[in-house]
């Protein structure tokens, strides 16, 4: 396809522009459907709490009574309704919320039993993470589609970063290097901001969709870049490696974690769902009491009958009373001790980052073995958690949710306009890949820039090499054949 070129545009800039456009096309081809999916599911997940309270009202919402029953009574009620090993007890976040008791059944299923904290009535049960919000989150993270699909998230995030950066270059106002979709050169000069700040044309015209794509992209591109970067911590390779890197160092992992207490081989992520930067944190170990010493004052109605733990453990009632006295924010989850050296762990991650907290108690003495909050994180941990909290729409309340909701709508529009624009310019044969520059120097520069990103994100880098090979030996020949 011949492209009108402004006389003021140097040929090397035109070559570079076309090379950038080619990789922008590849990035869009690979990730636009995934990005649209993530935007739709992410927008829904912004309102996870009201969605769950509305959709599971019978399980989640209770009438406020005068006084709550003791936690052990509620746990026993849940255990009667669903026999098995109780591994987590979640306290109500609000006065009208139910208690959630997570049980591993004899056939190894994880079920959550909902109990009225005022009457002890069992309201029903669901699979763990089986609420509407839980399903939306698993759809958003692609967990429902297996471990391989988790790698798609990392690839989509990396290619979305490439999509935004190349898109900004293509959008940037200049004495226009011609775009194959562009109107005649005289229609867009230095002073014309059509297609830069506003949309020209009408919906039947490709110019309309091209401008809509460009203007929408510049409006939501920054948010898309932010979401891609802050979504990386959940990725299968990059996220896991960075998690290991920030844990065990003062700049990331909380300074108070590596204290001189006996450490178990258990990880915090095995018993609860902690902040991302704490998933690899080891749990401290309870110290077995002297069998000849008394333990008067402990709640002897602990976990002996139901959980098979030592009779001199402090018990759930005393543990929750201790957590409440320490000022842990309401709605915290308590992971019960696993074995003789296990600990009671309270964890809570509310919208306020500074209220994030993890507290470990010795199951026998009730001694605080570890008490970690956001303010104790290193700078890398704080930055990561802040990014994740904003990504989830929690950090700045309603404003945070509205900005992300509008951005998600814009991202979907960006994907749709890109698809329509391609459809209107597609050739009768082939994908309609933008022309490949024949100058090796231009290709080397572009590929060198891409490799920098590939080094930062190895899985994305591997996919870049694969696409570059296809581009060089197969797609390139087809594209040249159609030019």
Tokens 């729409």 label which residue? 393
| 40 shares its domain with 173 | yes
Highest mean pLDDT among 54-58, 246-250, 386-390: 54-58
- The confidence score (pLDDT) of residue 470 equals 80
Report d(CA 53, CA 192) in Å as an integer: 51
- Residue 292: both structure tokens together: 């000849």
Report d(CA 405, CA 46) in Å as an integer: 8
Tokens 């011609």 label which residue? 178
Question: 377, 394, 426: which is the final residue of a domain?
Answer: 377
Highest mean pLDDT among 147-151, 165-169, 233-237: 165-169
Residues spanned by the domain of 369:
254-377
- Is 151 part of a structural domain of the chain? no
- Is 226 part of a structural domain of the chain? yes
- Is 186 part of a structural domain of the chain? yes
Residue 477 has pLDDT above 60, yes or no: no
* H or E element at residue 32: helix 11-45
295 close to 364: Cβ distance less than 8 angstroms: yes
- Residue 150: both structure tokens together: 């988790």
286 close to 362: Cβ distance less than 8 angstroms: yes
Task: Provide DSSP, 358-401.
Answer: EEEEETTT--EEEEEEGGGS-HHHHHHHHHHHHHTT-TTHHHHH
- The confidence score (pLDDT) of residue 283 equals 65
| 22 shares its domain with 171 | yes
| 223 shares its domain with 262 | no
| 40 shares its domain with 83 | no
- 426 vs 86: which has the higher pLDDT: 86
461 close to 159: Cβ distance less than 8 angstroms: no
- Is 50 part of a structural domain of the chain? no
- The confidence score (pLDDT) of residue 281 equals 57
Question: 93, 114, 130: which is the final residue of a domain?
Answer: 130
pTM confidence score: 0.80
| 41 shares its domain with 63 | no
| 171 shares its domain with 120 | no
**Mean pLDDT taken over the chain:** 81
279-320 pLDDT, tens digit each: 555 667 777 776 555 444 444 333 434 444 555 789 999 999
- The confidence score (pLDDT) of residue 256 equals 40
Residue 2 has pLDDT above 90, yes or no: no
Mean pLDDT of 324-346: 92
| 372 shares its domain with 268 | yes
Q: How confident is the model at residue 234 (pLDDT cuts 50, 70, 90)?
A: confident
Domains held by the chain: number: 3
Q: How confident is the model at residue 270 (pLDDT cuts 50, 70, 90)?
A: low
- Is 243 part of a structural domain of the chain? no
Report d(CA 87, CA 208) in Å as an integer: 57
- The confidence score (pLDDT) of residue 85 equals 94
- Is 5 part of a structural domain of the chain? no
Share of the chain above pLDDT 70, in %: 78
- The confidence score (pLDDT) of residue 6 equals 44
| 364 shares its domain with 450 | no
- The confidence score (pLDDT) of residue 64 equals 97
191 φ/ψ angles, rounded to the nearest 5 degrees: -90, 0
Pairing of the two strands 357-362 and 110-115: unpaired
- The confidence score (pLDDT) of residue 261 equals 42
| 440 shares its domain with 347 | no
Residue 119 has pLDDT above 60, yes or no: yes
| 315 shares its domain with 270 | yes
Domain CATH for 125: 3.10.450.40
Question: 112, 130, 148: which is the final residue of a domain?
Answer: 130
| 215 shares its domain with 279 | no
Pairing of the two strands 110-115 and 122-127: antiparallel
Mean pLDDT of 327-340: 92
Q: How confident is the model at residue 329 (pLDDT cuts 50, 70, 90)?
A: very high
| 36 shares its domain with 71 | no
Question: What DSSP designation does 472 have?
Answer: I
Question: What DSSP designation does 299 have?
Answer: -
- Is 39 part of a structural domain of the chain? yes
- Is 105 part of a structural domain of the chain? yes
Residue 60 has pLDDT above 80, yes or no: yes
């Amino acid at each position: 396809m011949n492209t009108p070129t402004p006389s003021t545009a140097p040929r090397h800039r035109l070559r570079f522009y076309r090379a950038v456009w080619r990789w922008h096309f590849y990035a869009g081809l690979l990730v636009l459907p995934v990005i649209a999916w993530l935007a739709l599911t992410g927008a829904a997940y912004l309102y996870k709490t009201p969605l769950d309270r509305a959709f599971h009202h019978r399980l989640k919402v209770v009438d406020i009574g005068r006084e709550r029953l003791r936690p052990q009574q509620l746990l026993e009620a849940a255990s009667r309704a669903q026999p098995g090993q109780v591994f987590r007890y979640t306290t109500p976040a609000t006065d009208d919320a139910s208690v959630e008791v997570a049980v591993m059944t004899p056939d190894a299923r994880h079920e959550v039993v909902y109990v009225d904290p005022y009457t002890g009535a069992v309201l029903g049960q669901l699979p763990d993470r089986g609420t509407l919000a839980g399903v939306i989150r698993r759809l958003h993270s692609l967990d429902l589609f297996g471990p391989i699909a988790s790698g798609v998230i990392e690839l989509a995030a990396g290619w979305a970063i490439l999509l935004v950066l190349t898109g900004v270059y293509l959008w940037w106002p200049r004495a226009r290097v011609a775009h194959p979709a562009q109107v005649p050169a005289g229609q867009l000069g230095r002073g014309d901001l059509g297609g830069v700040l506003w949309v020209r044309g009408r919906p039947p015209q490709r110019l309309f969709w091209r401008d809509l794509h460009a203007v929408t992209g510049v409006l939501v591109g920054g948010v898309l870049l932010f979401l891609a970067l802050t979504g990386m911590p959940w990725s299968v390779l990059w996220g896991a490696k960075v998690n290991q890197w920030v844990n065990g160092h003062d700049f990331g992992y909380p300074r108070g974690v590596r204290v001189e207490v006996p450490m178990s081989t258990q990880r915090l992520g095995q018993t609860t769902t902690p902040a991302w930067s704490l998933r690899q944190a080891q749990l401290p170990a309870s110290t077995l009491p002297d069998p000849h010493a008394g333990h008067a004052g402990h709640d002897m109605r602990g976990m002996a009958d139901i959980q098979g733990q030592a009779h001199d453990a402090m018990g759930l009632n005393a543990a929750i009373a201790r957590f409440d006295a320490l000022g842990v924010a309401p709605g915290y989850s308590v992971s019960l001790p696993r074995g003789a050296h296990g600990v009671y762990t309270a964890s809570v991650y509310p919208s306020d980052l500074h209220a994030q907290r993890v507290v470990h108690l010795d199951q026998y003495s009730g001694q605080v073995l570890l008490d970690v909050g956001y303010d104790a994180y290193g700078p890398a941990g704080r930055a990561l958690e802040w990014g994740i909290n904003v990504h989830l729409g929690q950090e700045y309340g309603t404003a945070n949710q509205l900005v992300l909701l509008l951005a998600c709508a814009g991202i979907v529009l960006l994907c749709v306009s890109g698809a329509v624009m391609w459809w209107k310019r597609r050739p009768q044969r082939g994908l309609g890949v933008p022309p490949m520059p024949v100058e090796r120097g231009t290709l080397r520069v572009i590929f060198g820039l891409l490799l920098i990103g590939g080094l930062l994100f190895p899985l994305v880098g591997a996919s870049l090499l694969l696409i570059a090979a296809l581009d060089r030996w197969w797609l390139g020949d087809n594209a040249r054949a159609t030019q």
